[in-house]
Amino acid sequence: MPPRSPQPRGAAQLNPRPVPSSPPIAAADLCGAALAVGGWMVGDNVETDIAGGRSAGLRTAWIAAGRQWPAHVRSPDLMAEDVSAAISSLMEWGRHRAVSKS
């Protein structure tokens, strides 16, 4: 068996904090955003995008791209056929929310 290659020097210093539990948390952390104030996770993968977004406390929008949502899985907050439709729906949601707050 070949010897294991050593860890690159300085690798431990690249990310000294624990790895977040989901990609949305990692992305928000890198951007300095606070997920506690809300947000959306938009994606096309049931397990990584939608479940990950939900676990991060985000609303979720699924890009169907001609696929059916699995019957045994809790539905996302929004379903759209493509990215353009998702953006339109999210913009409408934002307008509706702004009007209801006034």
Residues in the chain, pLDDT under 50: 1-2, 5-20
Residue of 54, 55, 76, 58 whose CA lies nearest to 67: 76
Q: Is residue 8 part of a domain?
A: no
User: For position 10, what pLDDT does the model report?
Assistant: 45
Which range marks the domain in which residue 90 is found? 20-101
Number of separate domains in the chain = 1
Q: Is residue 91 part of a domain?
A: yes
> φ, ψ for residue 24 (rounded to 5)?
-60, -40
Please say whether the beta carbons of 29 and 20 come within 8 A. Answer: yes
User: For position 20, what pLDDT does the model report?
Assistant: 46
H or E element: which one contains 95?
Answer: helix 83-101
Give the span between the Cα atoms of 65 and 87, in whole angstroms.
Answer: 14
Tell me the CATH number at 44: 3.40.50.1000
Q: Is residue 69 part of a domain?
A: yes
User: For position 18, what pLDDT does the model report?
Assistant: 45
Q: Is residue 14 part of a domain?
A: no
